Structure 1
């Protein structure tokens, strides 16, 4: 019973953290209008995402040093306080700062949920529990924009943030009862220099990729790339010499960990990055409405959700994991390659089915790979390795999203006829144009997206190689060691 309460608490908190990635999207325009800062609107999302990504290795190391329970509860309290501050924001600067704090604490919620489950379950039990917690993200993608829109329309955008408080307090009460005290080793030195250099390198990289598609900011993009390279080199130098590095580079010598990190990165690079652009593609190439264009990413995420839960259950029953990674990467690669070959004019259900299969392939190893990597390290490094798996996924998604956005912007602008201004091109404008212009623009978008789909299929092909290189075997069945005076019942 206590384990069920624990899973409910962790799922609720993981859902809150994931939901705040998506629920704000439909209320951004309203927020920007009320606060009078339309030009800084994107930072409401970017600040949250960047802060949650940068803090992952730091939070993971803290979890190993002081225990995941303390980090989890502290992160939840900070998250709720930041949610209250977001709702009371009187300026865009106030809101962005509060969102950064919220993003930092969300890293602790996401990461410690996975780490706590790893501590209190055996490797064989872990996949089904991890799949339940991992379902928080696809569910948040499905319902977040709808919930955000309804709350904004009927209660006001402030409640997009304040709604976290009652749910979070209930989850906190459950956590205080169900999350066990987990013993850790003696306090260790924290790698402050490594954390600082990593933060600088990642922030600079994200800014550089974001600015790369803007000609007016090309100089700043070059400077940011240089800063990112220098800071990353300094980070590697520090990590090789630090007694307790935040990212132990020796872990990459383990074949299971190395293959698992590649597979996790593929999820961010191959699917999470392109999902945001699918509605635009179908609005332009298939000439659908805004509402109808959202059906394809919904089908993709739904496939991911179903597959994630099913493979988690199957892996716990059989202990096998390699077959799911091989099958999943292969299915997703074939699906994305098929997307690049689909001609314009097909019924919308065809690409929906194809992208559903891509989602199924990705979900087959989305949460499972975290369990596999966790089983390859001692308990004292569970937080660190879990952070690394999540980090490569989020960095891959962030960087590739920016790259795809730049490719679309440059490619479409270069191919548009002289009578059409790329700066004012909207789906409504295209749908109101002559059939000949609609067909031409549909062909342009198809031509621009085809190599993107091929590139993402190649990424999954690399993931297939990594899946094949995973050591064969089964997850062990031994029970987790009791970590507090009262063992958790299975």
Structure 2
């Protein structure tokens, strides 16, 4: 690996850590922020507004990267994220914080997908297979140290610094990419699908807002909520109709005629539902049903962050020999083993079972996410790699958002009578989702039709 590639890789790892740690570092600081700024009724939106703006912009940034190149889009997104971070630290009210968290999300929508797209551009499939494990380690480390960093700043400095610390880290990434990442973009007339971008943003934004605003799954949605959902679906239908006609669509529909991409998107969506189900509701089981502390629940969840990068590293090596389908099936099999274990849990089950199940979950996620990311990137050329990667990230975010809404709705059916029964029902839905994902993974092609990277 030459020095230019190495320094670009370092920059991308730094950028990945920057966005990966953002949510985890917030988890231990939120209560302090609310006490300082007030607005406790808005606490869930500290996370939700970031998720919403990130989800809506991810595929748009992917398409822009295909039109104008990866470098300017990455630098713009990272700069916007840093601006939002500084403004979050300067916030004097909860309303201001929410606005600036949304601005952070607008930047974050570019960082992760463009990072993966650049990796797909400058490294071969064999190199990517090895590097995906390294990026998974970054996410695992962020999950481990994020709460500790957040707790340190809250206890010994100030909650404002959980945002300010992003500035030096992000600037390092910007400087390294500016200096060492080079790409040649052929000069040509660019057609921008403004109408498609607007319709997409409105439809997905309304859809996610309605789910999030209804209490992350409150079943008692109002008539207005159903009207917003119907309107968002109408806008999305109009978006699809427009994309079939425009010269340079924001989301090229023929992309999804590719069997690898189509099935990878669906399996990724289902995997994301299971991911949010385990990360959101397992801690509730540990604390509210088993009666352990929040810190104890955090330690019980750690094996997920350990199993994921280990499996991602193994996945990268295995898919070169066995193909994408087999590696994905292995991952989904590990997930369904874990899901079966969750279904068998009762309030009387021994606690040591949970870390074992979390290890299986982490390993399953590591195998599946790595194989599908590389498969999708290998199925397209340079001109579509940005939107292909961006759409995959978007589908994963949608899976988590829809998952937390639907699973939360199920839990609310049992509150306040029997939270344990509601959680056991959630584990059953997770098992069913995993089973469907396992069946669909058998329809993945073993190998992508490899497209050699070429720019412009």
Length-normalised TM-score, structure 2:
0.93
Match of 1:385 among 388, 395, 398: 388
C-alpha displacement at 1:76, in angstroms?
1.7
Find the counterpart in structure 2 of residue 278 from structure 1: 282
Say if 2:401 is the partner of 1:398: yes
Task: Check whether the contact 1:124–1:315 (CA below 8 A) recurs between aligned residues.
Answer: no
- Distance in 2, matches of 1:30 and 1:53, equals 27
Q: How does 1:291-302 map to 2 (within 5 A)?
A: 291-302=295-306
Closer, same or farther: CA 207–73 of 1 in aligned 2, 3 Å? closer
Find the counterpart in structure 2 of residue 127 from structure 1: 129
Match of 1:341 among 331, 339, 344: 344
Length-normalised TM-score, structure 1:
0.87
Closer, same or farther: CA 214–255 of 1 in aligned 2, 3 Å? closer
Find the counterpart in structure 2 of residue 305 from structure 1: 309
C-alpha displacement at 1:268, in angstroms?
1.0
Closer, same or farther: CA 87–457 of 1 in aligned 2, 3 Å? same
- Distance in 2, matches of 1:40 and 1:395, equals 22
C-alpha displacement at 1:108, in angstroms?
1.0
Find the counterpart in structure 1 of residue 179 from structure 2: 177
Find the counterpart in structure 2 of residue 320 from structure 1: 323
Say if 2:304 is the partner of 1:288: no
Which structure has the bigger radius of gyration? 1
Closer, same or farther: CA 58–480 of 1 in aligned 2, 3 Å? closer
Which sits farther off after the overlay, 160-169 or 335-344?
A: 335-344
C-alpha displacement at 1:288, in angstroms?
1.6
Q: How does 1:140-219 map to 2 (within 5 A)?
A: 140-184=142-186, 186-210=188-212, 211=214, 213-214=217-218, 218-219=222-223
Task: Check whether the contact 2:377–2:389 (CA below 8 A) recurs between aligned residues.
Answer: yes
Find the counterpart in structure 2 of residue 419 from structure 1: none
Find the counterpart in structure 2 of residue 463 from structure 1: 437
Q: Size of the alignment, in residue pairs?
A: 452
Find the counterpart in structure 2 of residue 241 from structure 1: 245
Find the counterpart in structure 1 of residue 4 from structure 2: 2
Secondary structure of 1:55's partner? helix
| Cα distance per residue 1:158-194 (max 9 Å; x no partner) | 1000001111122222212222224256242111111
Find the counterpart in structure 1 of residue 422 from structure 2: 448
C-alpha displacement at 1:372, in angstroms?
0.5
Find the counterpart in structure 1 of residue 84 from structure 2: 82
CA RMSD of aligned residues (A): 2.2
C-alpha displacement at 1:47, in angstroms?
1.3
| Cα distance per residue 1:322-353 (max 9 Å; x no partner) | 22101110110121022111233222111220
Unaligned runs of 5+ in 1: 417-443, 485-490
4+ runs of 1 displaced by more than 4 Å?
212-217, 478-481
Match of 1:412 among 396, 415, 423: 415
Task: Check whether the contact 1:340–1:449 (CA below 8 A) recurs between aligned residues.
Answer: no
Say if 2:73 is the partner of 1:99: no
Match of 1:367 among 362, 367, 370: 370
Unaligned runs of 5+ in 2: none
